[in-house]
Every structure is written in structure tokens, then in C-alpha cells.
Structure 1
């Protein structure tokens, strides 16, 4: 799937690495009905192989169907694929819980979100996590998994923001910056 025109700038960004990894699977969707997308189900095993802990081993058996919320799993995949062997870049211990991402990386003030930062949101029944790719006056534009059952970019109200975290960069990419966008598209109300 190609990026919508309003996000075409992302195709030319040289980083951050987590954004680049997320874009590689942009448009990937859950299986229809009772079917499962085997790619999503395999992600837990990939994360566990990169960081073999008891939790990660458990997560590989927990992910038996793609109807289980997978925004945290998607973020863990992006973190693992972009970590370059650096333990501080691996996902948080309980990465399946979206709210656990609030304690990952380096904390950033809520008003300081920039390209590639991890945004953690509150929602009824839990949380949601994704990557900052821009903002308009009222919403963040978020690249994430399990958004309308796919890897997409969606608008989420700034008022729902719980925390902003920046990857533990050795050298921060030069293109990490605020990106101001025009208001376009619906606002997400429930990403599960």
C-alpha cells in the first residue's frame, strides 16, 4: 500500500529508524473474519528471538490470533528491528501493554513531541501506542499498528496523550523535528 499523498514526505525521510521500519509494513492488515494474518502472529517470535526473556517467550504463545490488540507488539517489532544490538533500544519488558511504552526511552514533555517519538495514549479499557509523524492544531498524526485493524497513519486527539518517549539515540537523527500538518481525515476514537 502506498502512503496517502498528505504523508508522502515520509518516503524521503532518512530516519528515525523506527519510522523507517514501520513504513516497511505500512498497509499490512489483519486477516478477514476468523482468518489471521500470519505475519502479525510471527512478530512475537521475532521479538522473543531478539530479546529472549520469560515474558517474550510467553508472548509468542499469547499471540494466537490477530484479533488480540497488537499496537504494542507492532512497536516492539519496530524497536527490535531498529535497535542495532543496543539493549537500551529494545522494547520495554511488558511491551504488549501500550501504557508500558510511557516508561521506555527518554521522557519528553507532551508539548515536545517530534518525528519518530513514541506517543502513548489513554483510551477506555487501556491504551494505544504509535509513532509521531506530524500534528495539526488538535491531533497528532500517528503511524502505528492495530489502527483500523492495519498499519496506518491516523489522527488522535492531543487531549488523549498520556506520555511522549524518545528513543535512546546515540546520535539523534538530524530530521527529528516537529511537523505541522493541515487538518485532514477523521479522528480516531478507539484503536483496539
Structure 2
């Protein structure tokens, strides 16, 4: 269930990637050697090299989450979608981050990818997978932004817009 401060998202009619991502909200990886069969099944659904490589939810899965969301939304995936930084080649460069855009971040040891749902003065509010080992919304410092990419639309949804939110909740320092 969405936290009350993000409940408005459930009433947004699009973009389709947000709608699809919200259906997965709250999915959690299993601790230790166990695997959440839902997350592992996403790799099979995406197919190709993703299905060949991804076998356990202990493997970073922010890119896997984005791949299954994009596929379900009918969007073309970047090459090597498991790698967060590969999403910097997705869609088209966004002139300014807005609802439903793919945000790619740098972090120690790699990157992170998720969907823009809003921003405050210092952070983006990001709907993504493998954030505290689950699908949730977290705040990530704007200074870590590597790329903002807009999905390719035949007709861009009217609600693709910047969303200004209050700075509530902890700032994520590492989504690994």
C-alpha cells in the first residue's frame, strides 16, 4: 500500500510505466539464500540475456524491475537492462525530469535506476525496485543524477509534468 503522502499517485491515469510499476509496489526480496519467486519470474518474463543471467534476488534488481515495467508498458528496453547505467540510453533525453521519466543515478560500486514521481529542493522521489530490498518510493539526492530519460510516446500523457513535494523521509545513500 502506498504511503499516504504518495496516495495521489494511485489516481494518476498515466504514464503507463508508473501505472505498471505501482502494481508491483511492496514486492520484497527474500532474506539470505531464499528467493522471491515473483522477482525471479520477472527475469523469465523479460527473457533473453536477462533470463539467462538473473537467477536470484540477491543480484541487484533495480534494472530488472525497470525492464519488466517497461516491457509491460510496451516500451523498448535498452541493451543490457540489468545494468542500471544502461538505462541512460532509454527513450529520449528529458528536458527536465517529470512524472514517469526514468532517472539514472550513480552510486559507489555502480548505479541505480527508477521512475520519477516528484522532487523536493534537494532530492528526487523515486519509485523503484531494490530500494531497501523492495519496490518502494525513496528520496535520492539530485546531485547523484546521471541521466533523465523520457519514454517514447506516440502521444505524451497530459500528466507528464514536474511534481513538487515536501522533503519528507530519509535520503537514500546507497540502494545496493
Q: Choose from 90, 93, 98 the match for 2:84.
A: 98
Distance in 2, matches of 1:146 and 1:79, equals 16
Count residues in correspondence: 176
Q: Is the 8 A contact 1:76 1:90 kept in 2?
A: no
Distance in 1, matches of 2:50 and 2:153, equals 27
Residue in 2 that maps onto 1:35: 34
C-alpha deviation, 1:32, in angstroms: 2.2
C-alpha deviation, 1:42, in angstroms: 0.9
Q: Is the 8 A contact 1:156 1:187 kept in 2?
A: yes
What are the equivalent positions in structure 2 for 1:165-180 lying under 5 Å apart? 165-180=149-164
What are the equivalent positions in structure 2 for 1:1-192 lying under 5 Å apart? 2-48=1-47, 56=48, 58-83=49-74, 89-109=75-95, 112-192=96-176
Distance in 2, matches of 1:77 and 1:32, equals 22
Residue in 2 that maps onto 1:86: none
Distance in 2, matches of 1:127 and 1:33, equals 23
Distance in 2, matches of 1:105 and 1:7, equals 26
Please identify runs of 4+ aligned residues in structure 1 that moved more than 6 A.
none
Gaps in structure 2 of 5+ consecutive residues = none
- The answer to which structure has the higher helix fraction is 1
In the superposition, the TM-score normalised over structure 2's length comes to 0.98
Distance in 2, matches of 1:130 and 1:178, equals 16
Distance in 2, matches of 1:136 and 1:7, equals 13
CA-based RMSD of the aligned residues comes to: 0.8
Q: Is the 8 A contact 2:50 2:81 kept in 1?
A: no
SS at structure 1 position matched to 2:171? coil
Deviation by residue 1:165-186 (Cα, 9 ceiling, x = unmatched): 0000000001111100001000
Gaps in structure 1 of 5+ consecutive residues = 49-55, 84-88
Q: Is the 8 A contact 2:116 2:126 kept in 1?
A: yes
Deviation by residue 1:95-133 (Cα, 9 ceiling, x = unmatched): 011001011101124xx1000000000001110000000
